[in-house]
Chains A and B, each alone.
Chain A
Amino acid sequence: MKNNFEDQVKALSRTLLLFLFLLVFLIGGLFYFKMYPEKLHSKKETFKEIVDVDTEIENGIHIETGFVADEGMEVTIQNCTNCHSAKLVTQNRMSKEGWKATIKWMQETQNLWDLGSNEDLIVSYLAKNYAPVAKGRRQNLEDIEWYELE
């Protein structure tokens, strides 16, 4: 009789524990999918994560950021893409003085840290690969996609 009762208690607590575990698992799962809803229906995304894209270069361009692959690129990515997109850098063209002044402005007003000995490398990389091109007072219309208009 006593054994039977103990067995029943044990069985019940095992069941309860199992339910508790299941509940925790399900709630955990819910929060997980709430935070990462793409995991629910994207195998591609998961696959992408396995491939190391960090150093992938194609035609001289760093795939992930769009930066030109050259000496100083890595340190530029490390220091210049924390707050803003690489796109804000790569769409601009400046001289060495211009890039320096921009860094100074970001340090004075935008919380950019002291770049230390990396500054020269970053400025050289930017001034070399993102230098201004003389455009004159008005450029030709370029990149026209011709199409037949009825």
Chain B
Amino acid sequence: MDRRNFTGKMSLVIMAGILGTDIVFGHSLPKDYLPLGLQDTDPFKLFKKDRQMVILNDKPWNIEAKAHLLNDKITPNEFMFIRNNGKIPQKIDAANWTLTIDGESVREKKIYSLKDLKTKFQQYTYQLTLECGGNGRSEFNPPAKGNQWTVGAVSCANWTGIRLRDMLNDIGYKSDAVYIGYHAADTHLSGDPTKEPISRGVPISKALQEETLLAFQMNGEDIPLAHGYPLRLVCGGWPASASGKWINRLSIRNEVHDGAKMGGSSYRVPCETVAPGAKVENSSMCIIESMPVKSLITTPKSGALIKMGNTLHIEGHAWAGELTVSKMEYSIDFGSTWQKCTLEKPINRLAWQHFKTSISFPKKGYYEVWARATDQNGKSQPMVLPGWNPKGYLNNACHRIAIKVV
């Protein structure tokens, strides 16, 4: 839908003096807000995404990037993956948005307006890596159920907001607090208003980290609707599902939060590793916390033909959940030998790190450039699929691109 075109035509009608603008445009829509009830089926326009992005699912919307689209050091909206469990809220009234704080461990239930949050607390900006727990799911064997993400469900944008801990300290919580659970304005696919599509959270220790934000800006602008406008949690380095979008309630829990997608096989993996395809009891599943070490070659795009004698410049990003990446290597001989890449330090904790290098090839032929990151504890990315799990989470197998030297 071309809203400018639409409004342009509307104003012609209005100019005829028949009606005031108030009735038609009385919703005072925010700048980039497209009423989804009126959406046409072009999601690229609707969500302002690049047309090379891949739509995995249109109900609910799930869209991923390709490796070469993620070359920016700071991920812009147009290349940021969209992951939804339910329906994106239809009506957002940011002017009257509130956040209710409740739960067993809150000292006293309190309601903050969005304006309170923005004015009462100091604001911080961090660049934070958000990766879907199921990024890479498509490679698991036997296949795992769900959206078949390949490599593009990861982003690292600048997020601006207040520290969750500042708000928690302001409201006060009891010493038995163990978990924060979010509730949000998205709606269940079945249309059942009593069901939440997703209500996850993080342990209190993660909630108290200085980079854990209640964010209202992404890359210096209002958060785009699909990414949680007007308020979301951002818990960098953890499965992105912990970073709830459109949040309107936070519960300070005295037990592990038990909202939708906290139990069963959702965002959980076998506590002890299992053989591929094994049946795992719910009681033997553990919640995913920090994401594992991983990297992505974002330049060049896979499939480059280069002339013999030319060097190949590669670059990309590496991240390691709560940890930092201490070493970045590449191989052009299927993992037989590894060479180091130049690796930058993260701009702040929980931000991805950039690597680059130049590669010379000994002779003509088909090559694969493999990338392998190692975290500060010495753990490296595996070259084959890591431990199988029922829902196909945490695939951090090394990224590969194809090159032909001709």
A residues touching B (Cβ–Cβ < 8 Å)? 23, 26-27, 30, 33-35, 37-38, 40-41, 83-85, 87-88, 91-94, 98, 102, 105, 109-112, 132, 134-139, 141, 144-149
Residues B302 and A87 in contact, CB atoms below 8 Å apart: no
A149-B189 in contact given A26-B13, A34-B38, A136-B141 (Cβ < 8 Å) = no
Other contacts beyond A40-B9, A85-B60, A94-B145: 11, CB < 8 A: A40-B6, A41-B2, A41-B9, A83-B59, A91-B56, A91-B148, A110-B189, A110-B190, A111-B190, A132-B141, A137-B384
Residues A138 and B385 in contact, CB atoms below 8 Å apart: yes
Chain B residue numbers with a CB within 8 Å of A146 are: 303-305, 404
Residues B148 and A30 in contact, CB atoms below 8 Å apart: no
Chain B residue numbers with a CB within 8 Å of A136 are: 141
CB distance from A24 to the nearest CB of B (A): 11
CB distance from A109 to the nearest CB of B (A): 8
Residues B18 and A23 in contact, CB atoms below 8 Å apart: yes
In chain B, positions 1-32 with a C-beta closer than 8 Å to chain A are: 1-3, 5-6, 9-10, 13, 18-19, 23-24
Residues B59 and A132 in contact, CB atoms below 8 Å apart: no
Chain A residue numbers with a CB within 8 Å of B368 are: 141
Q: Which residue of B lies closest to A141 (CB)?
A: B402
Chain A residue numbers with a CB within 8 Å of B55 are: 87
Q: Which residue of A lies closest to B189 (CB)?
A: A83
In chain B, positions 272-311 with a C-beta closer than 8 Å to chain A are: 300-306
Residues A85 and B57 in contact, CB atoms below 8 Å apart: yes
Is residue B192 contacting chain A, with contact meaning CB distance below 8 A? yes
Q: Which residue of A lies closest to B397 (CB)?
A: A138
Residues B13 and A98 in contact, CB atoms below 8 Å apart: no
Chain B residue numbers with a CB within 8 Å of A33 are: 6, 9-10
Q: Which residue of B lies closest to A38 (CB)?
A: B40
Q: Which residue of B lies closest to A27 (CB)?
A: B19
Complex CA distance for A37 and B300, rounded to whole angstroms: 41
Q: Which residue of A lies closest to B144 (CB)?
A: A92
CB distance from B379 to the nearest CB of A (A): 19
B residues touching A (Cβ–Cβ < 8 Å)? 1-3, 5-6, 9-10, 13, 18-19, 23-24, 38, 40, 55-60, 139, 141-143, 145-148, 188-192, 195, 264, 300-306, 312, 368, 383-385, 397, 400-402, 404
Partner of B38, one of A37, A91, A147: A37
CB distance from B276 to the nearest CB of A (A): 9
Main secondary structure, interface of B, reads: loop
Main secondary structure, interface of A, reads: loop
Partner of A149, one of B6, B143, B305: B305
CB distance from B388 to the nearest CB of A (A): 10
Residues A84 and B189 in contact, CB atoms below 8 Å apart: yes
A111-B303 in contact given A33-B10, A83-B189 (Cβ < 8 Å) = no
CB distance from A92 to the nearest CB of B (A): 6
Q: Which residue of B lies closest to A148 (CB)?
A: B305
Q: Which residue of B lies closest to A139 (CB)?
A: B139
Complex CA distance for A112 and B148, rounded to whole angstroms: 22
Partner of A98, one of B145, B188, B383, B404: B145
A41-B5 in contact given A26-B18, A35-B38, A147-B303 (Cβ < 8 Å) = yes
Chain B residue numbers with a CB within 8 Å of A93 are: 143
Partner of A30, one of B19, B38, B40: B19
A147-B304 in contact given A98-B145, A141-B368 (Cβ < 8 Å) = yes
Residues A92 and B143 in contact, CB atoms below 8 Å apart: yes
Residues A84 and B59 in contact, CB atoms below 8 Å apart: yes
Chain B residue numbers with a CB within 8 Å of A34 are: 24, 38
Complex CA distance for A105 and B397, rounded to whole angstroms: 29
Q: Which 7 A-B pairs have the closest CB atoms?
A: A111-B190, A149-B304, A85-B59, A135-B141, A83-B189, A137-B384, A93-B143
CB distance from A12 to the nearest CB of B (A): 20
Chain A residue numbers with a CB within 8 Å of B56 are: 87, 91
CB distance from B386 to the nearest CB of A (A): 10
Residues A91 and B402 in contact, CB atoms below 8 Å apart: no
Complex CA distance for A63 and B339, rounded to whole angstroms: 48
Complex CA distance for A141 and B404, rounded to whole angstroms: 13
